[in-house]
Amino acid sequence: MPAIDAVGEFETIQRLFKPLAHPEWARGLADDVAALPSRPGYDLILTKDALVEGVHFLPEDPLDTLAQKLLRVNLSDIAAKGAVPFGYLLACHWSERCGWPEREAFVAGLRRDQALFDIYLLGGDTVSTPGPLTFSVTMLGWVPAGRAVHRGGAKPGDVVFVTGTIGDGWLGLQACQGTLKLEQDRLDYLCRAYRQPLPQTEFADAILKSATASADVSDGLMADAGRIAEASGVCIELDLEVTPLSAAADSWFAGRVDEEAALEQLASGGDDYQIIFTVPASQEEAMRREADRRHVRLTRVGQVVEGNGLVVRYRGEDVTPAKTGWTHD
């Protein structure tokens, strides 16, 4: 079939998005709503994130990986609550550069991640805009009633863990922009980390089982630790020197003269989509076993104490970071 350069809303829905829709709940994308059955004993968890060209992604980012990132940043929020995702609502604001091939590429990325994470499209909207290319997703998931893990449950005596590695998203943006000087395989890895972050959905059940508070690391390790501290009415002491780094990030770090400043940059850059969470100290070894069983890297990065706010330390000394993370003006 020849490529179509100018397409309308309903043709896009019928030819591209309808095959992604849930076979029952999405009503064939022929209605203005999705109809979800009630599920006794469970709470419905919802989260929403948007990506705007020039703000959250680069104009040259491939649209298939952009679609994957759009789903994954939302899946990360769901996982941090200990929930299981099942579907999403999608809004596409297509710019003038998005003809049929670009829309097909975007949907190809959605299709890959729907299969990977076992989720379905439930509905949404698609429009054209003279402004920047913009997408948003509302992700839905289930969690046993009253069991969702929020930011506000950390208690003095808890320990603070983070999954995976920190700083790859921030470095990956620079790698994709061509401003980072590293070996090509390191640059390729970091670009993938920025464009296709891997949310810790496989760890959600462990979070549900043992975590007292949790958040996904989207705005920076320090910033998101501070939000848990604020919501919980406690103080979190964060130890910068144990920040977990990938081999690529470690390669960049090895060339830094000021190690403390470099770690502050990595821990404030954001776009990591790992999970920072707290557990009682008595559960530390059990949580480590859960991580080992799932092949998830787990690092203890701090502790919860009496007080308020965030205290950042480097090798036992309090430090005052220039910034703790990304903020939306």
Residue 58 domain-assigned (yes or no): yes
Whole-number pLDDT of residue 8: 66
Tokens linked to 2: 């020849």
Whole-number pLDDT of residue 29: 67
Residue 47 is assigned to a ligand binding site: yes
Residue 168 is assigned to a ligand binding site: no
The per-residue pLDDT of the chain, averaged, comes to 92
Whether 102 and 184 map to the same domain: the answer is no
Whole-number pLDDT of residue 208: 96
For 284, the domain range is 151-319
Render pLDDT for 19-52 as a digit per residue (tens, 0 to 9): 988 887 766 765 554 556 678 899 988 888 999 9
Whether 159 and 292 map to the same domain: the answer is yes
Spatial CA neighbour of 203 closest among 138, 271, 289, 111: 289
Q: List the chain residues with pLDDT less than 70.
A: 1-10, 26-27, 29-37, 327-329
Residue 326 domain-assigned (yes or no): no
Residue 65 is assigned to a ligand binding site: no
Residue 151 is assigned to a ligand binding site: yes
Whether 166 and 301 map to the same domain: the answer is yes
Whether 210 and 314 map to the same domain: the answer is yes
Residue 32 is assigned to a ligand binding site: yes
Residue 113 is assigned to a ligand binding site: no
Tokens linked to 236: 């979190």
Whole-number pLDDT of residue 4: 37
Whether 87 and 190 map to the same domain: the answer is no
Render pLDDT for 223-235 as a digit per residue (tens, 0 to 9): 999 999 999 999 9
CB of 79 within 8 A of CB of 199?
A: yes
Whole-number pLDDT of residue 51: 95
pTM, to two decimals: 0.90
Whole-number pLDDT of residue 240: 97
Residue 224 is assigned to a ligand binding site: no
Whether 208 and 131 map to the same domain: the answer is no
